[in-house]
Structure 1
Amino acid sequence: MVTQVRPSQLDDWLHRHAGQQPLVLDVREALELQAASVQPQGFELRHIPMNQIPQRLGELQPDRPTACLCHHGMRSMQVALFLERNGFDEVVNLAGGIDAWTLERDPSVPRY
């Protein structure tokens, strides 16, 4: 079962993986990125739209801590489950998505 991590809890999750350079995988569409995006702080940020994940799975490392992000947390949960089924050891879903990110972590990120 994929763990849910709220944006307000992300620093704790990152701290548990210190030295491993965690990845936040943004699975939203390009137009959504234009509306709002997060700034990497203690993690690498990579954008791969949800529908491209199966074809681009080889670009991701199964042993790397990965947190999946979308608008509200539904698509990212599906991607997290897919990654888990494909051998990813440490994958979490950012519950509430970028919308919760704005409310809990960085109010400068526009809501849409």
Structure 2
Amino acid sequence: MIDHVRPAQLSAWFATAPEGSMPLVLDVREPWELQTASVRADGFELVAIPMGELSARLAELNPARPTACLCHHGARSLRVAAFLDHHDFERVANITGGIDAWSHEADPGVPRY
């Protein structure tokens, strides 16, 4: 099942993770987007794998780890979350609104584009 989590709710979603598991934010945007705006890892690990490379790099991710997917507005990350869910990842979330919403709700220092 895919959870839908707003950036302002992400800490609460991470808090429901099993004890001892470091949550992951999987940023699926393109490299130029990462250069334009990026989030700061705080209480989670941040990994960037562009959506188009994910199937080839899937083995880099741990299916048992809580994983929240991030893109620009939430459409690509929702597709990636569905892909991960299909590949038996245990806890998957889409960060609804993407990095654009992150700028509004979690960190106004993140540039909008």
Task: Give the match for residue 7 of structure 1.
Answer: 7
- Residue 64 of structure 2 is matched in structure 1 by 63
CA deviations over 1:55-81 (Å, ceiling 9, x no partner): 000000000000000000000000000
Question: What is the TM-score when the length of structure 1 is the normalising length?
Answer: 0.98
Deviation at 1:3, TM superposition (A): 1.2
SS of residue paired to 2:25: strand
Identity of aligned residues (%): 59
SS at match of 2:94: strand
| Residues 43-58 of structure 1: pairs in structure 2 closer than 5 A | 43-58=44-59
What are the equivalent positions in structure 2 for 1:1-112 lying under 5 Å apart? 1-17=1-17, 18-112=19-113
CA RMSD of aligned residues (A): 0.8
Q: 1:68 is matched by which residue type in structure 2?
A: C
**Equivalent residues, number:** 112
Quote how far apart the aligned CAs of 1:19 are.
Answer: 2.4
The AA in structure 2 aligned to 1:22 is P
Residue identity in the other structure for 1:2: I
Report the Cα offset of residue 16 of structure 1. 1.2
Distance 1:55 1:77 in 2: 18
Within 2, Cα distance between the matches of 1:111 and 1:21? Answer: 28
Q: Deviation per CA, 1:12-66, whole angstroms, max 9, x where unpaired?
A: 0111125210000000000000100000000000000000000000000000000
